[in-house]
């Protein structure tokens, strides 16, 4: 699974430009799903099974990035705006990569003066794409993602875009495990939906949920951990197992969905922890209000340093999340 994770996290796909990631996932699931469609917004929808409760699983393909807004004349410097929630304190010296392969470096004014203590506004940063020639390899209107390759440290995996490609990997692996089961061990119609534009407002999940019209939905996404220095009071820790969401600012998980997940984790002996998140939300927040409403929950992957190029997960948690998802999908959903 590590090879798949590496391919996914190193793929290029800022919000609205998920085509490379979608192609990669399509190649992985082609032999596994009964039907594969791409909806008008670009969501990749993979169905397995044709009877029983309709369960939608949502993982987002897009990642945060930048959009070039203006080229400073004759300099190779580009101004940009954010795609998704950038953290200004992490930008200086970061590398971004354009679709044509150009790698740029982010600079800021006065980094050893005022910039030493506080990050400036986004408009003050710039990207150096100069290559020694007189022309710029990139023009305004071009998006980029942050760039770092995957690193491994013991059971930890460190990469950009773990948010949410680690969940895409879990969904693909779960589809693989389900497909390997006998047909009667697959009592649900499962729609694995790889969504677009989550980081800019849960846009893909909203239309996909309307199209799929599920009986119940599970989003998989990263969540913060409370085990970092001076971190908020939060019980989730790295290596503590799959995090079952109870509440975040965009979603109150219905107790029936929460219990469905907790009871499955207990029955299958899967390590789990309960997640109470006070900032941020997931695709489940959009899915729950589709049509007449969809009971929705979330399996979260504990992750350190979210929205940096060093999002860190633990392989034990990844396996726990994969087992929990597969366990839920291979038993008839009570919805």
* Marked catalytic residue, from 18, 28, 63, 198: 198
Give dist(CA 109, CA 107) in Å, integer.
7
Confirm or reject binding of residue 248 to Zn ion (CB under 5 A). no
Least Å distance between CB 163 and Zn ion?
4
Q: What is the dihedral of CA 289, 199, 256, 224, to 10 degrees?
A: -150
Give dist(CA 4, CA 226) in Å, integer.
28
Nearer to Zn ion, 76 or 302 (CB): 302
Least Å distance between CB 107 and Zn ion?
27
204-223 mask for Zn ion (x: CB under 5 A)? -----------------x--
Among 1-9, 18-26, 89-97, 155-163, which window interacts with Zn ion (CB under 5 A)?
Answer: 155-163
User: CB atoms < 10 A from the CB of 324, how many?
Assistant: 27
Confirm or reject binding of residue 163 to Zn ion (CB under 5 A). yes
Least Å distance between CB 275 and Zn ion?
14
Confirm or reject binding of residue 164 to Zn ion (CB under 5 A). yes
Nearer to Zn ion, 59 or 142 (CB): 59
Tokens of 27: 């190649």
Among 86-94, 147-155, 161-169, 309-317, which window interacts with Zn ion (CB under 5 A)?
Answer: 161-169
Confirm or reject binding of residue 283 to Zn ion (CB under 5 A). no
Among 84-92, 139-147, 157-165, 322-330, which window interacts with Zn ion (CB under 5 A)?
Answer: 157-165
Burial class (CB within 10 angstroms; exposed 0-12, middle 13-18, buried 19+) of 9: buried
124 is catalytic: no
Nearer to Zn ion, 164 or 248 (CB): 164
Among 30-38, 122-130, 156-164, 262-270, which window interacts with Zn ion (CB under 5 A)?
Answer: 156-164
Q: What is the dihedral of CA 299, 305, 309, 315, to 10 degrees?
A: -50
Confirm or reject binding of residue 173 to Zn ion (CB under 5 A). no
Residue located via tokens 């340093």: 305
Tokens of 150: 């995957």
Nearer to Zn ion, 22 or 54 (CB): 22
Burial class (CB within 10 angstroms; exposed 0-12, middle 13-18, buried 19+) of 229: exposed
Size of the site for Zn ion (CB under 5 A): 3
Calculate ∠ Cα 88-89-91, nearest 5°: 65
Tokens of 322: 């994969």
Helix 2-10, helix 162-179: angle, nearest 10: 140
* Sequence-distant (≥ 6) Cβ neighbours of residue 281 within 8 angstroms: 202, 248, 249, 250, 251
Q: What residue ranges bind Zn ion (CB under 5 A)?
A: 163-164, 221
Question: Which residues are designated catalytic?
Answer: 198
């Amino acid at each position: 699974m590590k090879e798949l994770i590496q391919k996914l996290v190193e793929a290029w796909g800022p919000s609205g430009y998920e085509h490379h990631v979608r192609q990669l996932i399509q190649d992985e699931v082609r032999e596994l799903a009964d039907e594969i469609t791409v909806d008008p917004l670009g969501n990749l929808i993979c169905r397995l099974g044709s009877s029983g409760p309709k369960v939608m699983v949502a993982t987002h393909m897009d990642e945060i990035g930048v959009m070039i807004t203006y080229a400073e004349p004759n300099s190779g410097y580009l101004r940009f705006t954010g795609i998704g929630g950038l953290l200004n304190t992490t930008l200086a010296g970061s590398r971004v990569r354009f679709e044509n392969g150009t790698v740029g470096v982010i600079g800021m004014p006065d980094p050893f003066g005022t910039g030493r203590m506080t990050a400036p506004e986004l408009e003050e940063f710039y990207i150096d794409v100069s290559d020694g020639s007189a022309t710029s390899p990139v023009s305004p209107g071009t998006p980029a993602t942050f760039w770092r390759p995957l690193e491994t440290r013991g059971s930890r995996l460190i990469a950009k875009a773990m948010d949410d490609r680690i969940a895409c990997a879990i969904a693909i692996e779960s589809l693989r495990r389900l497909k390997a089961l006998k047909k009667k061990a697959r009592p649900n119609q499962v729609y694995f939906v790889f969504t677009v534009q989550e980081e800019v407002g849960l846009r893909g999940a909203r239309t996909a949920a309307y199209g799929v019209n599920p009986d119940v939905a599970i989003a998989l996404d990263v969540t913060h951990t409370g085990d970092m220095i001076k971190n908020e009071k939060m019980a989730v820790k790295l290596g503590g197992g799959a995090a079952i969401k109870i509440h975040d600012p965009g979603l109150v998980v219905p107790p029936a969905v929460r219990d469905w997940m907790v009871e499955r984790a207990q029955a299958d002996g899967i390590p789990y922890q309960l997640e109470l998140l006070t900032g941020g939300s997931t695709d489940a927040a959009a899915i729950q209000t589709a049509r007449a409403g969809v009971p929705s929950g979330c399996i979260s992957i504990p992750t350190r340093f979210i929205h940096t190029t060093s999002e860190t997960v633990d392989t034990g948690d990844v396996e726990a999340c994969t087992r929990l998802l597969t366990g839920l999908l291979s038993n008839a959903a009570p919805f």
